[in-house]
Structure 1
Amino acid sequence: MTTPLSPLMALLTSILGWLLWSGVVGALANRLPLPWLARSRVLWQRPWPESLQSYERRWAIRRWKPWLPDAGNALPNGVAKASLVGRDRRNLERLVLETRRAELVHLALWPFWIATALWLPPLGVLINLGFATLFNLPCLWVQRYNRLRLQQLLGRP
């Protein structure tokens, strides 16, 4: 039987785990080729209707979206979304692909809370589930919202 971690060690190991996992996921996502992101995938299509208005009304996304950080350029060859501000078709299409990359990152980050069950008691795992959801779900919503806005600008569904 293993000795339970002190609260400080549980916190530190969770922080370190999240940082390491974020680095691994970010590095792998950064290597995904643009043509792969451009292909039509089930991941990008929702079985329910999505609209800009639903994100704006239901989630008030325009109110809090500017407060989220952009880690797109945290890794070498990464792309900060603010750097793609041109409204020409090429930049807008590239930004659509970057929203897909960011969505994949946040989908891949979220399940790390399950790994915390290896060293944390159930309450610690639940806290990590809450953390994972609180920090990834809004980012997913923003990526989907931004993609809808960009596709509207590009004149396609």
Structure 2
Amino acid sequence: MPIVSLPVIWVVVFDIVAWSFFHLAISYICFKLPLAYFRKDSFWFQIFSWEQSGRLWQRLFKVKKWKGSLIDGTVLFNTGYTKKKLHGSKTEELKIFAAETKRAELTHWLSILPAPLFFLWNPFWVGWLMVFYALASNLPFIVVQRYNRGRILAITELGKG
């Protein structure tokens, strides 16, 4: 049972406004984080050996077939680093691209976190629908970022040898 009881139309409106707010606020905050933070090798963004430099994501989800159809968040703010295509093939350009995939991945992980709040004003089953929405609308983007970063890291590691 929701803590706040509202007419159905207002619950729907509030859900739409709340998700819009969370998505935009989280995107803006992550956009404002300095690139230097994402250039570091941190545990949160490492590509694990079981991901096989991104090949796992291609094998499981056929990422190459659909990743181009995802919307790049930079269109929301009409600024930022677009990840629709590489900006060059030099090692430094690839490292910047990899750092930007970390920014995008963080944005999408954080965008899942507000989902439990929707249980406060929605019926229980709608609360779970909101959790499903959060996962379904963010996990594809996370998979693509990890796929792209795994491939880029494999390329830049080859250049070191």
TM-score normalised by L of structure 2: 0.86
Displacement after TM superposition at 1:75 (Å): 2.6
Aligned to 2:125: 123
Residues 86-121 of structure 1, C-alpha deviations (whole Å, 9 max, x = no match)? 112222111001000000000100011111122111
- Unmatched 5+ stretches in structure 1: none
Displacement after TM superposition at 1:3 (Å): 6.8
Aligned to 1:7: 8
- Identify the match of residue 74 of structure 2 among 72, 77, 80: 72
Displacement after TM superposition at 1:48 (Å): 6.1
- Unmatched 5+ stretches in structure 2: none
Aligned mates of 2:64, 2:85 — CA distance in 1? 20
Residue identity in the other structure for 1:20: F
Matched positions, count:
157
Aligned to 2:55: 53
Correspondences of 1:89-104 after superposition (within 5 Å)? 89-104=91-106
Aligned to 2:21: 20
Displacement after TM superposition at 1:82 (Å): 3.4
Aligned mates of 1:2, 1:50 — CA distance in 2? 42
Is 1:30–1:77's contact at 8 Å kept on the other side of the alignment?
no
Aligned mates of 2:3, 2:140 — CA distance in 1? 36
Distance 1:49 1:9, change over 3 A: same
Distance 1:36 1:56, change over 3 A: same
Greater relative contact order (CA < 8 Å, ≥ 6 in sequence):
2
Displacement after TM superposition at 1:140 (Å): 0.5
TM-score normalised by L of structure 1: 0.88
Residues 121-144 of structure 1, C-alpha deviations (whole Å, 9 max, x = no match)? 111111101100101111100000
Higher helix share: 2
